[in-house]
Each structure stands twice: as structure tokens, then as C-alpha cells.
Structure 1
Amino acid sequence: MSGGDDMETAERPVIAATRTTKRRGPRFSRADRTPLGLWFWEIDRVLLLLVSMLIAIGLVAVAAASPVAAQKLSTSSAALDPLYYFYRQLMWAIVGVPVMLAVSMLPKPQARRFAIYGTIAFMVLLFLVPLAGTSVNGAQRWIGSGAFRLQPSEFLKPFFAVSLAWILSLRLHDQSLPVVPLAAALTGVVALLLMGQPDLGQTVIFAATWFVLVLVAGLSMRIMGMLAGSGVALLILAYFFYPVAQQRINIWLFAEGDSFQVDKAHATLTAGGLVGTGPGAGLAKFQLPEAHTDYIFSVIGEEFGMIACIAIAILYLAIIVRVLVRLLDEEDSFLILAVAGLIAQFGGQAVINMAVNTQIFPSKGMTLPFISYGGSSFIALSIGMGLLLSLTRRNPYAARVSMTRNWNKK
């Protein structure tokens, strides 16, 4: 009996150790303090899910629009695969999603430095576009050629928004610093370079981002009124002295000139009714120029219906609201400005594209974020969303401690 008792006693630690091993938590438990574990618990997983849904929808939309673009580029001797642009977009997604996740893992100070260095690099490239740029469809906006071609203005957008936020946040530390004129001057330089390409749509996005940032920075209503008046005056000057702007405004307001693109976009958008013709069954899209880029929203309308278009608009709205809710209890002025600038840029681009497709805005040649085809656009958006995810990361333990302290004070 004693030998049996001794054997039973000897086995107990082994059994206990085995049970302890089995009770070990999941790989990303709240006790995991590794960089990857911290990222998992600090990242806004709801925002990441919404963006993932948008990317998945974009792949389906590009697959629907790809046959149109492939047919137009095919020749009698060489026909492109109908899904050529889908395969390329899938490749960009395979590259872009890891880039987004990698950027989202940056600590906030490193994300800010990354944005500042990115701004400097792509400002230099933007200056080089008039000298060594590549022209496509009458617009000189790219550097390089073929598979190695990129659009500096697309990459500059997210970096520029964060850099402007950093400049304007310095005003809270020293009121004497001329940060607002400096931010205005930098935006003006970018706008002049973009107008020369010409790229009216990107100019509007950069100017709108700057306006949102100075608004959030807390400038007086008198100054904001002056800025708004200056913006209206610049639009009037652009109409009279900038032929591209005049042409598009005349088509939009007075139906003067060639309105083929916007007319076909509206006809394609409404051709599918509420539920659409079905995937691959659309016919109006074959009359649509740039079906896989600027007017992909119209292709979605034809094949998946107006209900799908409304759902996509709601998804964009949900992303914007989610980010703004994340800012409600934020106290860091730089983070507030940077996140506001990034989400204003993202949401503004989506609104402009959808408004152009529905003839609410004049044509601007702007892609629909994460849905339109484009390598530069997708990678740049991935960087921007990565910065947004990085800057909105929250430590759940710190939030819990703060709530406990506030409760104890009461």
C-alpha cells in the first residue's frame, strides 16, 4: 500500500504539470507582451475588418470591370485575358495588405517620422514629374514606365496629411510659430505642381485636407471665413484661367462640350436597377471609358444594382464614423489632427468618385479607394490606412486604469 501511495504521489506533479500546460492561453492572450501580441490587442480590429471588406468588394468589382478594359487594349494579333486586370489587382492586394499591416505595427513616434520622411521623398519626385515624368492619356503624372511606373501624388497624400498635422500641432506648444502660413505655403506648392500635370482632382483633395486640418486646429472663425472666401476666389480664377477646370465645369453645369464619359457613367449606373443584371451580365459597361478605374462604381451599379452601391456608401460611412468615434477621448493634438486629416482624405476621395458617377460633381478622374484598379493607388491607400491604424491604436490596459482612477475620484 505504501509503495502504491508513493507511486501515486510521484505521479501527481506530472499530472499537475500536464494540466498546467493544457490550460495555457491562446497565442494572443492579454498577457502576451510581445510586439505582435501588443499589436493584436491595441489595433482597432473593427476598422481592420471594415477595410478588409472593402478590399474584397474591390476585387469583385475589378473582376466585373476587367473584361471591358481588356477588350479595349486587345489587338487583332494579341488578345488580353478578360480577367487580366483582376489578376493584376489581386497581385497589388497581395503586396498592399502586408504593407498596411506592417505600417500599422509602427509605434506612433515612428509612424510620424515615417510620414515626414515619406513627404520629403515624394515631394522631390513630384518636382521631377515635369522634368522626367511619363504621360498617359494626355496627363503627365507618373515617374518611370511599365510595371515600374508610380504616381508620386498618390503616395504623397497620406504622408502629407500626417506631416501637416505635425506642423500644425506645433502651434499648441508655441503660438508664435508661423505654422499656418507654412502649411498653406506647402499646400500651395503641391497644388501648383498638380495643376501643371494637370490633375484637378488631386489638387482638390490636398486643398480640402489642408482646410480640414486648419479647421480642427482651432483657428478663429474670422480666419476660417477668409480662407473659405479665398477658396471660392481660387475656384473662380481656375474657371477663367485653367482650361481643364473650365471644360469640366461647363459640361457639369451647362451641358456644353463633350459629356460622353459622364453620360455613359450615369447610363451604366442605372442600367441594373435595384438588384443588377448579375455578375458578368452587364452590357452597358462596354461603352464606358475607364470602367476599371474612375467609373467602376457605375459598373457595380449595373451588375450588382443600386442596393450594392448604397451598401458600399454605407461601408465608407461606417469607416469614417468608426475613426471619428475613436477620436472622442483622444487628448494628443497631433494624433487628433493626423487622424482627422487621413480620414478626411480617404472619405473625401470616396465621396468625390461616387458623386462624379452619379453626376453630382463634375468629372475629376479620381479612383474609388480600395475598389478601383491601380497599383499606385492601392499601395498608397494601404500606407495611408496603415498609418491610420497605427495612430488609432489603444492600450486596453491603460484605458481600464484611467477609467478606474476616474471612478475612484468620484
Structure 2
Amino acid sequence: MASGSFKPGRIVQGLRAKTVPRERTALAIWFWEIDRVLLSLIAVLIAIGLVAVAAASPVAAIDRSTSTVSVNPLIYFYRQLMWVGIGLPVMLVISMLPRTQARRLALAMSAIFFVCLMFVPLLGSTINGARRWIDLPIGRFQPSEFLKPTFIVTLAWLLSLKGRDAALPVVPLTGVMTLLIAALLMQQPDFGQTVIFCGCWAALLLLAGQSMRFMIGMGGAGLAGIVAVYLFYENGRNRINDFLGLGVAADTGPDQADLAHKTITNGGFTGVGPGGGQAKFNLPEAHTDYIFSVIGEEFGLLACIGIAVVYLAIVVRVLLRLLDEEDNFIILAAAGLTTELGLQAIINMGVNAHIFPSKGMTLPFISYGGSSMIALCIGVGLLLAFTRRNPFMDRSPYVVKWSGR
């Protein structure tokens, strides 16, 4: 058969033929290579978050209002719109970067935000008894939020080097780095972020091929660390006591976890309707830490289940995307970023359902917060960049390409 019988831009793949797009612009290449399913799932979470912040905004606005100053009930919704407007372009721009450039960007940002985290004890501002933020002329930001995704990429890069040279001491090096960050976070205090950093490091070690004996030892060290936190770390001990009902006096009323549990179950399966929630006005930080309870009250437990399914779909989508990936760094980086997102969601939902002690953890892409939103967009932008691939290039050895010439 003559080659001229094949049309230009066709790829014969088994019994199927795909048409290769004729466009060669950077935007067209990005559109065909990006994981559009993953991007759509993230967009769904952001849309849900805007609705949820609009429902919780009046609660936070009342807390800020005084007898002389009245705050717009939807002020946090408008601010969240602004953060989304900033975060989405950042996410899309990062997702357009080649893998090598995305990795270099993450390494540079990790170094910058690690330095910022070190300066938090000196320059940080204190809010609700915690010093986690650094004030800037245009606002404040939380270095640990930005450090999470970039540090995970750094860990993935270091651990991937072990495949090239097994003698490199990358495991002790990453352990020292993680413990140093954990020590800085515990000073703030921020036990929730400490759990995220340590949990992601352990997950990456497992994926990097560490022995089960080593991982069991890590698990034992983690349990010993929790005991040490309870014995010597006042903030962690108070949260655990409150969760177990050991630290709340009889005349102080229910704690935050009890209020969140009552709120999330107040709406039943279908909810009381948008704006109809009343129990949410008893919640502290209804627009951030306990926004999942607000969703449960106004939109029902079915909505909460739906949100959990979206997070699960994101994790499954990324794992499926990595099944035929051969680059160890990409596998570790993408899996680590997904672990961060999923673990943070599990912790927040578990706290709202009174399964875990309160940790001050936001719900990814749904809770209000500028640092959280932009940092998550950076993380997902890196994830999208690492999972980009040419959909017209089969990874099997049976692809036959025809140029038509």
C-alpha cells in the first residue's frame, strides 16, 4: 500500500487512528496535553468553595462587627473571589511549564519559603494565640502553606536521586529537613501542618521503595512522637484532652468539635437550605476550619458525601495517570502532591465529623483563605505540569506513525 494513501497527521494505533491537531501554538499544545478531567474536578471544588464561603461569610462578618462598625455579610465571599481570581491564573501558568522548569521553580520556591518560615518566630504576627503569619504592606501570608507543595516536590527530587546512586544519603537528609520544619511548625504552634509534612514524607519514603521493616520502625517512632506531644507539648495536649472530653469543665459548654458535629448533623441528609442554617452561628471560624459543618447544615450530608467523592476522584485520577509513568521523580512528586491534598481534606472532614481532634486545618479549595487558595493553586499547577503528556503518543511499542510524505 502506498504511503500516499494515508492522510497527513494520522497515527495508526492498533485498529484505531487518531487525528493529530494541526495547531502548534503553546496554548494548543497545553490544551491537548493537560489532564482536563483533573482540571475539571479542581474547578468543581473551587465552585463549591465559593458557594460554601458565601453561606459561612455572615457568621464571620458578625464576629467582626461591633456596635459602631457594621461589616458586609458577604465580605469574605468577595475576598474569596479575589483570591480565586489570583490563584487560577497562577495555577494555569505553572501548568504550562515544562516538567524540568516546573521542578526548578518548585525547588527555588521551597528554599525561599523555608527561609520565610524560619523568620516567622521573629517577624510573625499572632492571631488567636498562634504565630503563623508574616505581615506585608499588601497583607499577610502563611509561609507553611506555600512551603507544603514546593517542599514535597523537593523531597520527591531528592528521593528520586537514590535511583541513580544508591549510596546517596537522601533518606537521612530528607528526614533532617522534615524534622527541622516540624520543629519550626510546633513553635508556632501548628500541629496540623506538622502532621501533613511528616505524613507526606512517610508516604514518599514508602513509594521510594523503603523496606517494610523501616516503615514499621517509622510507624513506631510516630506513635512515640504522639505520646511525647501529649506529655510535653501543651497545645497538642489541650486539643487531645478537649477531643476526649477531659479538658472541658462542666460550666464551659461544648467545645469546638462538639459544636461542629452538632452543626453538620443539624441539616439531615438534604440540609435546611442555603442561608437557612442557625447552628452555624455558634461555630468559631465557620468560614475556614469548620466550613464543612456549614455545608452539612445548609446543603445536607449528601452534599458532604459528594464533596468527599470529588476528593477521592482526584486521588484516583492522579494514580491512574501514573500507572504507566516511568520517571521516578514524576511518580513521587505527583503522588506526594496528591497525598498532601487528600490528607488535608481527610483531616478537616474528620475534625468536623468529630473523628479527629481540632487541628486548625482548612478544607482544600473550599475554606476561605488567601494563603491557602494561592498555595493550593501552586500545588495543583505543579501537579498538572508533571502529569501533562501527549495524548497522541502511545507508550506501548506498537505505535506506527505515518507522515504522509
Structure-1-length-normalised TM-score = 0.90
Mapping for residues 371-382 of structure 1, pairs under 5 Å: 371-382=366-377
What letter corresponds to residue 213 of structure 1 in structure 2? L
Mapping for residues 188-199 of structure 1, pairs under 5 Å: 188-199=179-190
1:100 maps onto 2:95 in alignment:
no
Residue 103 of structure 1 and its aligned partner are, at CA, apart by: 0.7
Alpha-carbon distance in 2 for matches of 1:95, 1:302: 30
| Cα-to-partner distance string for 1:355-399 (whole Å, 9 max, x where unaligned) | 000000110000000000000000000000000011000111222
| Cα-to-partner distance string for 1:199-228 (whole Å, 9 max, x where unaligned) | 000000000010000000001111111111
Alpha-carbon distance in 1 for matches of 2:382, 2:157: 14
SS at match of 1:143: strand
Mark the runs of 5 or more structure 1 residues left unpaired by the alignment. Answer: 1-27, 406-410
Structure 2 match to 1:217: 208
Residue 252 of structure 1 and its aligned partner are, at CA, apart by: 1.8
1:336 maps onto 2:334 in alignment:
no
Mapping for residues 52-131 of structure 1, pairs under 5 Å: 52-131=43-122
Structure-2-length-normalised TM-score = 0.91
Alpha-carbon distance in 2 for matches of 1:214, 1:125: 26
SS at match of 2:168: coil
Kindly indicate whether the alpha-carbon contact (under 8 Å) linking 1:191 and 1:206 is maintained by their aligned counterparts in 2. yes
SS at match of 1:396: coil
Mapping for residues 235-246 of structure 1, pairs under 5 Å: 235-246=226-237
Alpha-carbon distance in 2 for matches of 1:48, 1:403: 30
1:397 maps onto 2:388 in alignment:
no
Bigger share in helix:
1
Structure 1 match to 2:313: 318
Alpha-carbon distance in 1 for matches of 2:26, 2:136: 38
Kindly indicate whether the alpha-carbon contact (under 8 Å) linking 1:134 and 1:145 is maintained by their aligned counterparts in 2. no
Kindly indicate whether the alpha-carbon contact (under 8 Å) linking 1:29 and 1:37 is maintained by their aligned counterparts in 2. no
Alpha-carbon distance in 2 for matches of 1:166, 1:187: 14
Residue 145 of structure 1 and its aligned partner are, at CA, apart by: 5.1
Mapping for residues 9-408 of structure 1, pairs under 5 Å: 30-144=21-135, 147-257=138-248, 259-399=254-394, 402-404=397-399
Kindly indicate whether the alpha-carbon contact (under 8 Å) linking 1:277 and 1:302 is maintained by their aligned counterparts in 2. yes
- The change in CA–CA distance for 1:245 and 1:74 in structure 2 (over 3 A counts) is same
| Cα-to-partner distance string for 1:277-301 (whole Å, 9 max, x where unaligned) | 1000111111110000000000000
Residue 29 of structure 1 and its aligned partner are, at CA, apart by: 7.3
SS at match of 1:292: coil
Residue 402 of structure 1 and its aligned partner are, at CA, apart by: 4.4
Aligned length: 379
Residue 340 of structure 1 and its aligned partner are, at CA, apart by: 0.8
Residue 89 of structure 1 and its aligned partner are, at CA, apart by: 0.2
Alpha-carbon distance in 2 for matches of 1:400, 1:338: 20
Kindly indicate whether the alpha-carbon contact (under 8 Å) linking 2:242 and 2:255 is maintained by their aligned counterparts in 1. no
Q: Using the aligned pairs only, state the percent identity.
A: 61
Residue 400 of structure 1 and its aligned partner are, at CA, apart by: 6.4
Mark the runs of 5 or more structure 2 residues left unpaired by the alignment. Answer: 1-18, 401-405
Residue 146 of structure 1 and its aligned partner are, at CA, apart by: 7.3
Residue 256 of structure 1 and its aligned partner are, at CA, apart by: 2.9
Structure number with greater Rg is: 1
Residue 247 of structure 1 and its aligned partner are, at CA, apart by: 1.0
Kindly indicate whether the alpha-carbon contact (under 8 Å) linking 1:100 and 1:385 is maintained by their aligned counterparts in 2. yes
What letter corresponds to residue 59 of structure 1 in structure 2? L
What letter corresponds to residue 354 of structure 2 in structure 1? Q
Alpha-carbon distance in 2 for matches of 1:323, 1:254: 39
Kindly indicate whether the alpha-carbon contact (under 8 Å) linking 1:301 and 1:309 is maintained by their aligned counterparts in 2. yes
Alpha-carbon distance in 1 for matches of 2:398, 2:224: 49
Which aligned runs of 4 or more in structure 1 are off by greater than 3 angstroms? Answer: 400-403
| Cα-to-partner distance string for 1:258-289 (whole Å, 9 max, x where unaligned) | 65211111111011111111000111111110
Structure 1 match to 2:15: none
Alpha-carbon distance in 1 for matches of 2:396, 2:174: 37
Cα root mean square deviation, aligned: 1.5
Kindly indicate whether the alpha-carbon contact (under 8 Å) linking 1:212 and 1:341 is maintained by their aligned counterparts in 2. yes
Alpha-carbon distance in 2 for matches of 1:46, 1:285: 33
What letter corresponds to residue 303 of structure 2 in structure 1? A
| Cα-to-partner distance string for 1:132-182 (whole Å, 9 max, x where unaligned) | 111111100001157520000000000000000000000000000000000
Alpha-carbon distance in 2 for matches of 1:403, 1:282: 59
SS at match of 1:277: coil
| Cα-to-partner distance string for 1:109-154 (whole Å, 9 max, x where unaligned) | 0010001000100000000000111111110000115752000000
What letter corresponds to residue 381 of structure 2 in structure 1? G
Which sits farther off after the overlay, 395-404 or 324-333? 395-404
Kindly indicate whether the alpha-carbon contact (under 8 Å) linking 1:247 and 1:257 is maintained by their aligned counterparts in 2. no
Which sits farther off after the overlay, 141-150 or 121-130? 141-150
Alpha-carbon distance in 1 for matches of 2:90, 2:396: 33
Larger RCO of the pair (alpha carbons < 8 Å, separation 6+): 2
